[in-house]
Structure 1
């Protein structure tokens, strides 16, 4: 696995962990973010997936 791929995996794992902690509160933030990604397919998400799984 390329080193940059490992960096992005760790970075997004930490982001998801923070969202998990926020989600425990009264406002379900993680579900809204996932719904946004599924409905609108933002460019930043495509770039994230490309960095996470680079084609060789």
Structure 2
């Protein structure tokens, strides 16, 4: 049986998220840098935002 982590916990892994009509809230926080996020958002009526739950790299 697999147990998924809470959504908030999963969002802490990456510093940038997409927001827009197809990604409401912080539902797509899978970007390691702003340029990567902006490239994905380009032409899709999406914007990139800093992930407020991101805690940085764990050492």
Please, what TM-score do these two structures have when normalized by structure 2? 0.27
* Structure having the larger proportion of residues in strand: 2
Structure with the bigger RCO (C-alpha within 8 Å, sep 6+) is 1
Please say which structure displays the higher CA radius of gyration.
Answer: 1
